[in-house]
Structure 1
Amino acid sequence: MAFIKGLLRDLRRTPVDTLVRWQERRFLWLFMAIAMGALIVLAHSFFQIYLYMAPCEQCVYIRYAMFVMVFGGVIAAINPKNIILKLIGCVMAFYGSIMGIKFSIKLNGIHYAVHNPDPDALFGVQGCSTDPTFPFNLPLAQWAPEWFKPTGDCGYDAPIVPDGVTLSSTQQWFVNLYQSSEGWYLLPPWHFMNMAQACMLAFGTCLVLLLIMSAAWGIKLVRG
């Protein structure tokens, strides 16, 4: 508690210097990498493998953006005081968060269209293919199909359990929860915040923090 109070006190007294000091430590960069890595593992191991929620095209693009941020955080954490490594980490983190927001907005639009009772809402909706095209033409679906090959429909985040599979009681509880909610929601019974919106929140939070940290770094460089 005293440590946190000390950090907040420093932030009030010398905000720019304190923010620059924070980003010159490994903690923040590793925290970003671990947080995004945890979301990737949660999506793949829990929802895709354990609950049989097949990823859609926009979902694997979102994973790609998260992986970029993981690598960016790891690179910067090697030595945050090294300007080159820190700059590479910043660029990758900004790129990943911006692309993640872009893919999440696209997925949210598709989610709205497929759940809209108006049949005309689907008119012109695109972006849900089983043949993805990743940035820079990276063949990620061929390199790691279990992670980057879309096998589901965009906007339908409900479990599809294969025939003949016997679920444990815990699995069955989660499957029933998401099937009755017609897809993934942060708070399923109330349909609060779908998967795309939750991803937008994660990427948006990272982007805001990156902007604040980068602004502090820029001010420090100008002063120097």
Structure 2
Amino acid sequence: MALLKGLWRDLRTSPVDTLVRWQERRFLWLLMAIAMGGLIILAHSFFQIYLYMAPCEQCVYIRFAMFVMVAGGVIAAINPKNVILKLIGCIAAFYGSITGIMYSVKLNSIHFAVHNPDPEALFGVQGCSTDPTFPFGLPLAEWAPEWFKPTGDCGYDAPVVPAGVNLSSVQQWFVDLYQQSEGWYLIPPWHVMNMAQACLLAFGLCFILLIVMSAAWLLKLTRAG
């Protein structure tokens, strides 16, 4: 508690210097890398493998954006006081968060269209292929198909259990939960925040923090110059 009070006091009395000091430590960069890496592992290991929720094209693009942010966090954490490493980390983090927001918005629009009772809502909806095109021409679907090969339909993220698979009681409980809600939701019974919206929230929060931290860094450089 005393530590938190001290950090809050420093932030109020000297916000720019405090924010710059924070980003010169490994903690924030590793926190970003661990948070985004954790979301990737959760999506793959728990929802895709354990609960048989096949990822769609936009889903694997979102994973790519998170992976870029993981890479940026790890690079910056090598030495946050090194301007080059920190700049590379910032560029990767901004790129990942911005593209992640774009992919999440697109997936959310597709999710809305496919769950809309009006059949005309699907008119013109695109962005769900089993042959993804990643930025920079990276053949991630070939290098790591289990992680980056889309096998599901956009907007339909309910579990599809293969015939003959015996589920444990815990698996069955989760599968029933998401099948009854007809997809992934943060709070399934009430359809609170679908997967695209949850990802948008995560990317959005990271983007805001990056803006604040980068603005403090640039202001500090301007004062020093």
- Please classify the TM superposition score into its range, dividing by the shorter chain length: over 0.9
C-alpha displacement at 1:169, in angstroms? 0.3
- For the residues of structure 2 that align with 1:176 and 1:211, how far apart are their CA atoms? 41
Provide the residue aligned with 2:50 in structure 1: 50
Q: Which amino acid aligns with 1:3?
A: L
Q: Which amino acid aligns with 2:124?
A: G
Provide the residue aligned with 2:108 in structure 1: 108
Provide the residue aligned with 1:186 in structure 2: 186
Provide the residue aligned with 1:133 in structure 2: 133
- What SS does the corresponding residue of 1:221 show, helix, strand or coil? helix
- What SS does the corresponding residue of 2:186 show, helix, strand or coil? strand
- For the residues of structure 1 that align with 2:170 and 2:8, how far apart are their CA atoms? 42
Measured against aligned partners, the alpha-carbon deviations of 1:100-123 in whole angstroms (never above 9, x if no partner) come to 000000000000000000000000
Q: Which structure 1 segments of 5+ residues have no match?
A: none
C-alpha displacement at 1:141, in angstroms? 0.1
- What SS does the corresponding residue of 2:125 show, helix, strand or coil? coil
- What SS does the corresponding residue of 2:127 show, helix, strand or coil? coil
CA RMSD of aligned residues (A): 0.3
C-alpha displacement at 1:77, in angstroms? 0.1
Provide the residue aligned with 1:216 in structure 2: 216
Query: Is residue 2:186 matched to residue 1:176?
Result: no
TM-score if structure 1 supplies the norm length?
A: 1.00
Measured against aligned partners, the alpha-carbon deviations of 1:163-215 in whole angstroms (never above 9, x if no partner) come to 00000000000000000000000000000000000000000000000000000
C-alpha displacement at 1:137, in angstroms? 1.0
Provide the residue aligned with 2:7 in structure 1: 7
C-alpha displacement at 1:42, in angstroms? 0.3
Measured against aligned partners, the alpha-carbon deviations of 1:45-64 in whole angstroms (never above 9, x if no partner) come to 00000000000000000000
C-alpha displacement at 1:91, in angstroms? 0.1
- What SS does the corresponding residue of 2:108 show, helix, strand or coil? helix
TM-score if structure 2 supplies the norm length?
A: 0.99
C-alpha displacement at 1:17, in angstroms? 0.1
Q: How does 1:1-224 map to 2 (within 5 A)?
A: 1-224=1-224
C-alpha displacement at 1:138, in angstroms? 0.6
Identity of aligned residues (%): 82
Q: Which amino acid aligns with 1:34?
A: I
- What SS does the corresponding residue of 1:33 show, helix, strand or coil? helix
Pairs aligned (count): 224
- For the residues of structure 1 that align with 2:135 and 2:107, how far apart are their CA atoms? 17
- For the residues of structure 2 that align with 1:190 and 1:164, how far apart are their CA atoms? 31
Q: Which amino acid aligns with 1:148?
A: F
- For the residues of structure 1 that align with 2:5 and 2:141, how far apart are their CA atoms? 47
Q: Where do 4+ consecutive residues of structure 1 move more than 3 Å? A: none
Q: Which structure 2 segments of 5+ residues have no match?
A: none
C-alpha displacement at 1:162, in angstroms? 0.3
- What SS does the corresponding residue of 2:214 show, helix, strand or coil? helix
